[in-house]
Amino acid sequence: MCSGPQAADYNAADLPRWMQPGTITAHFQPIYRVNGSVMPPVAVESLARGTRAGAFGSPAVMFAVAREKGLVETLDCRCIRAAFEAAQSLSPDLDLFLNVHPRTLCLCSDFPAFLADEAARSGIALTRITLEVLEHARVADRQCCQLHASLEVLRDLGVRVAVDDVGAEPEEARRLLLFRPHYLKLDAGLVRRARAYTRDRALLHAICEFGRDMGAEVIVEGIERPCDLALVAAADAAMAQGYMLCPPLPADELMQRGKSITLGQMAEA
Ligand SMILES: [Ca+2]
């Protein structure tokens, strides 16, 4: 996981300082549709990054601290606001995937209104938005009603839902059905394991088939080697994302290089 400073190294009193305006920005990593030999970028995932001016450190650590201090929903909303600000220079052809912790959907009944306001302020249509929700993050059963009610409101507004890190805890796959997702985003560890192990390749294929049966497109994360694309093609997954295809970049840099990728370029990589 994270090899840098751990959550315990940070003082909770500093957390509001990390979340001041101007301390968080967003980079964007493209998601490519697997479409024969040409892979056009169809969306970007927003990933929180600290600015030089701010004290926001490693996103993994910041979220760990926020989870520990019960401030995940505040941090989520700050990151989403930063993503909308940074996304204004993205091509309008690209959909925008935003990460949101299930707790935020459980605890903030006004989250749909917040998202709609932020999107309107940035001039980004809600139909371009997909929320990536962690399936395996624990939420109390009594809070699930609010989570699913919020998702229902968001779906009615045209927002799509992706379940994130699918395959990290395969025994919980049945619960995926509750999200009625448009997308399943596979945990990056699954494609790494599938390089070496037949049983993980079988799991990759099974999840892709499960996705097709439930009407959700599968996005394979963690593409780091050319052989990973062969796994994606063999499993007939719809989309792919990973450092080999393109790392997370600021919006303006991404727009300079965010073109389609061809499999020829991959062979040279
Ligand atoms: Ca994600």
The domain locations on the chain are 7-253
Give the per-residue pLDDT at 183.
Answer: 96
> Comparing C-alpha atoms, which of 187, 241, 174 is closest to residue 214?
174
Give the per-residue pLDDT at 53.
Answer: 63
Give the per-residue pLDDT at 12.
Answer: 58
Find out whether 252 and 46 touch, Cβ atoms under 8 Å: no
Q: Ligand 1 centre from 180 Cα, in Å? A: 17
Beta bridge partners of 185: 219
Q: How many contiguous H segments (helices) and E segments (strands) does the chain have?
A: 11, 10
Give the per-residue pLDDT at 240.
Answer: 95
Question: Please, what is the average pLDDT of the chain?
Answer: 84
The CATH number of domain 7-253, selected from 3.20.20.370, 3.40.50.150, 3.20.20.450, 3.30.465.10: 3.20.20.450
Q: Encode pLDDT of 73-126 as tens digits.
A: 989 999 999 999 999 989 999 999 999 999 899 888 899 999 999 999 999 999
Find out whether 237 and 208 touch, Cβ atoms under 8 Å: yes
Q: Ligand 1 centre from 88 Cα, in Å? A: 20
Q: Is the dihedral of CA 61, 67, 69, 75 positive or negative?
A: positive
Decide: helix, strand or coil at residue 32: strand
Find out whether 188 and 166 touch, Cβ atoms under 8 Å: no
Give the per-residue pLDDT at 228.
Answer: 94
Q: Ligand 1 centre from 101 Cα, in Å? A: 10
Q: Ligand 1 centre from 121 Cα, in Å? A: 24
pTM of the model: 0.83
DSSP per-residue codes, 164-232: EEETSSGGGGGGGGGG--SEEEE-HHHHHHHHH-HHHHHHHHHHHHHHHHHT-EEEE----SHHHHHHH
